[in-house]
C-alpha cells in the first residue's frame, strides 16, 4: 500500500545541519514502512511550523489534499503529534480528511483508523494529550524565563543583547565587551557635551545602520540594570504557518533588576540623554503632523500624466518645489521643470477668485465647454442611434416582405420580430437619454449651478489654509500644469453637466496689481 511520509519540526534550529530532528523522524518513518509493508510515495518535510498552526502551511494542506487519491492509504509519521498538537477544539479539524476519505495513520508502533470508533477516540485522546503537553511546556518555559529575569540573568538568547554586553549562561556572569563598551561611553559624552545629533555621532563612530545607535541609547543596561516594561502574550497571526513573534503586553509595573556590572553611564547622564531624545522625537512628530504649506498638493498633475510631488526647502534663498514624479527618485524625468510652490498656489488661488466666485464668468465657461461636449459626445450618440433605428426599420420591412413570400415560418418570423423590437427599444432609449442630457444642460440649469459654486467659494480668500484645502479637494478633481503654469482644471460637477472646465495660457507669476 502506498502512503505519504510526514516530518515536522517546530523550529528552524531543529532542522539545522547536525541536529537530529528531521533525521530521527525519517528513520522512524522508514521503520514504520517496513513493519507495515508500506511504500512511501513522497516524503513531506515541514520546518518552523508549530503543531497548532499546521493548517496554515501550504505544504501540509497539499499533503492532506493528496489523501483524496484512492491509491494512497494514509500518512506515516514518527508520532501522532507530528501531524498536529491541537490546543483548541477547532484545531481537531486537521483530522477530518482522514475520516472523510477513510485513510490510515501509521506510526512505528501502531496503526490508527480515525474512521473507526476506536481510532476516532484514540485520535481525540492522543491529540488532546499532545496539545496539553505543548501548553505545559510553554507555561514552564515562560515561568523559567521570568524566574531568570528576576534573578538578574539573561532570559533569552544573546542575540537580544546590544553590542558591548555579554552573558555566560554557565557561570551566570555579565561582562562588558570591548571596544563597543568604551564606544558607548564616548557616545553619551558627545551627546551631552557637544550637543550633537544621534545621526552625526553614529556616522562619525561607524555605526551601521545609524538607527542601531538610537536603539542602544534607549537601553538602560548601561546603567547596570535591566528594565522589563512588557511581557509576552499570544502570537501574532503567522504567514504560511511559520513561527511568529508573540505580542508585547505592557506590565502593570515595570520589572527593574540590577545586574552584577559596574555601570558605564550614571543614571543622571542616562536620564539627560533620554530627555534629549524625547525632545527631538517630539519636534519631529510635531513637524510631521503639522499643517502642510503645499496648498495644491494632491491636485497637481504634469502634462505627461504623472502626479506632481512636493519638496520643501526652508533654507534662506531657497524655494519649495513641485516636480514631476518621473524625476523621483533620481529619474530622468519627462523634461518638465520644477515649479515654485508659491507661484502655483498663487495662480490657483487667483483662478478661483476670478472664475469660481463670479457666477457670470463661471456660467460662461460652463456654457462654452458644455457646447463642445455636446458636439463631441451627445450629438454623436444621437446620430448613431438614429442610424441604427433607420437600419432596424429597413430590416423590419424586409422581414415582412420575406414572410409574405414564405421564406420564414411563423416561429422564425416571431423570433426575428422580437429581436428587432428589442434593438429598437435599446437605441430609442439611448437617443432619448442623450437628448435629455442636452436639455438638462440648459442655460437656466447652468446659471443655477454657477450660482451654487460661486456661493461655496465666496469666502475662499478669507478661509484658513486647511479649510481652503478641503474646499479645493471637494470640488477640484485635477489640475494639470505645463509650460510653467496651470493649463487645465478638472472640476467635480453634478451630473449631467459634469465636465472638464479648462483654462489655458495662464502664467504662474503673480498678476500685476
Rounded Cα–Cα distance for residues 304 and 317 (Å): 30
Cβ pair 333, 327 in contact under 8 A: yes
Q: What is the pLDDT of residue 493?
A: 67
Beta-bridge mates of residue 396? none
Q: What is the pLDDT of residue 503?
A: 43
pLDDT tens-digit readout, 259-290: 888 999 999 999 988 888 887 665 555 555 56
Q: 365 versus 457: which is more confidently predicted?
A: 457
**Average pLDDT of every residue of the chain:** 83
Which of 172, 175, 177 minimizes the C-alpha distance to 153? 172
**pLDDT band for position 367 (cuts 50, 70, 90):** low
pLDDT tens-digit readout, 51-94: 888 888 999 999 999 999 999 999 999 999 999 999 888 889 99
**pLDDT band for position 467 (cuts 50, 70, 90):** confident
What dihedral angle (degrees, nearest 10) is formed by the CA atoms of 454, 456, 459, 464?
Answer: -140
Class of domain 158-224+259-289: alpha beta
Q: 18 versus 347: which is more confidently predicted?
A: 347
pLDDT tens-digit readout, 423-450: 888 888 888 887 777 666 556 666 777 7
pTM of model > 0.75: no
**Contact partners, residue 344, CB within 8 Å, separation at least 6:** 296, 300, 322, 481, 486, 508
**pLDDT band for position 21 (cuts 50, 70, 90):** confident
The set of cell numbers assigned to 452 is 451654487
Architecture of 2-146 per CATH? Answer: 3-Layer(aba) Sandwich (3.40)
* SS3 call for 300: strand
Beta-bridge mates of residue 168? 173
What dihedral angle (degrees, nearest 10) is formed by the CA atoms of 325, 326, 330, 336?
Answer: -100
pLDDT tens-digit readout, 318-340: 889 999 988 887 788 888 888 89
pLDDT tens-digit readout, 208-263: 777 788 888 899 999 999 999 988 888 877 777 888 888 889 999 999 999 888 99
Amino acid at each position: 500500500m502506498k502512503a505519504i511520509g510526514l516530518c515536522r519540526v517546530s523550529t528552524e534550529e531543529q532542522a539545522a545541519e547536525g541536529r537530529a530532528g528531521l533525521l530521527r523522524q525519517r528513520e522512524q518513518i522508514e521503520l514504520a514502512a517496513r513493519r507495515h509493508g508500506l511504500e512511501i510515495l513522497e516524503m513531506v518535510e515541514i520546518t518552523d511550523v508549530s503543531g497548532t498552526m499546521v493548517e496554515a502551511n501550504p505544504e501540509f494542506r497539499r499533503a492532506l489534499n493528496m489523501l483524496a487519491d484512492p491509491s494512497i492509504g494514509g500518512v506515516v509519521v514518527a508520532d501522532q503529534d507530528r501531524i498536529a498538537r491541537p490546543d483548541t477544539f477547532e484545531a481537531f479539524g486537521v483530522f477530518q480528511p482522514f475520516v472523510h476519505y477513510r485513510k490510515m495513520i501509521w506510526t512505528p508502533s501502531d496503526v490508527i483508523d480515525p474512521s473507526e470508533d476506536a481510532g476516532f477516540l484514540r485520535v481525540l485522546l492522543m491529540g488532546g494529550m499532545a496539545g496539553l503537553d505543548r501548553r505545559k511546556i510553554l507555561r514552564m518555559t515562560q515561568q523559567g524565563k521570568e524566574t531568570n529575569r528576576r534573578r538578574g540573568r539573561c532570559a533569552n538568547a544573546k542575540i537580544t543583547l546590544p553590542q558591548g554586553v555579554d552573558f555566560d549562561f554557565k557561570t551566570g556572569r555579565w561582562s562588558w565587551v570591548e571596544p563597543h563598551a568604551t564606544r558607548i561611553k564616548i557616545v553619551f559624552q558627545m551627546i551631552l557635551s557637544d550637543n550633537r545629533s544621534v545621526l552625526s555621532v553614529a556616522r562619525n563612530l561607524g555605526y551601521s545602520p545609524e538607527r542601531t545607535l538610537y536603539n542602544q541609547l534607549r537601553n538602560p543596561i548601561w546603567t547596570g540594570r535591566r528594565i522589563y516594561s512588557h511581557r509576552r502574550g499570544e502570537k501574532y497571526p503567522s504567514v504560511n504557518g511559520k513561527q511568529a513573534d508573540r505580542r508585547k503586553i505592557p506590565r502593570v509595573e515595570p520589572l527593574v533588576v540590577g545586574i552584577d556590572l559596574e555601570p558605564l553611564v550614571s543614571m543622571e547622564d542616562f536620564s539627560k540623554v533620554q530627555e534629549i531624545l524625547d525632545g527631538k522625537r517630539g519636534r519631529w512628530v510635531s513637524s510631521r503632523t503639522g499643517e502642510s504649506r503645499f496648498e495644491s498638493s494632491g491636485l497637481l498633475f504634469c502634462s505627461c500624466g504623472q502626479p506632481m510631488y512636493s519638496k520643501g526647502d526652508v533654507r534662506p534663498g531657497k524655494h519649495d518645489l513641485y516636480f514631476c514624479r518621473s524625476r523621483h527618485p533620481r529619474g530622468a524625468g519627462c523634461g518638465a521643470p520644477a515649479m515654485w510652490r508659491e507661484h502655483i498656489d498663487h495662480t490657483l488661488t487667483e483662478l478661483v477668485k476670478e472664475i469660481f466666485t463670479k457666477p457670470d464668468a463661471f456660467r460662461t465657461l460652463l456654457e462654452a465647454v458644455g457646447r463642445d461636449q455636446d458636439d463631441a459626445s451627445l450629438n454623436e450618440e444621437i446620430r448613431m442611434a438614429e442610424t441604427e433605428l433607420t437600419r432596424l426599420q429597413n430590416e423590419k420591412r424586409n422581414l415582412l416582405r420575406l414572410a409574405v413570400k414564405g421564406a420564414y415560418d411563423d416561429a422564425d418570423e416571431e423570433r426575428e420580430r422580437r429581436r428587432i423590437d428589442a434593438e429598437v427599444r435599446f437605441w430609442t432609449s439611448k437617443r432619448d437619454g442623450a437628448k435629455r442630457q442636452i436639455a438638462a444642460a440648459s442655460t437656466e440649469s447652468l446659471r443655477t449651478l454657477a450660482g451654487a459654486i460661486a456661493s461655496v467659494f465666496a469666502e475662499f480668500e478669507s478661509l484658513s489654509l486647511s479649510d481652503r484645502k478641503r474646499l479645493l479637494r471637494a470640488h477640484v478633481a485635477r489640475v494639470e500644469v505645463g509650460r510653467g503654469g496651470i493649463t487645465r482644471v478638472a472640476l467635480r460637477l453634478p451630473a449631467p453637466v459634469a465636465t472638464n472646465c479648462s483654462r489655458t495660457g495662464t502664467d504662474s507669476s503673480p498678476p500685476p496689481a
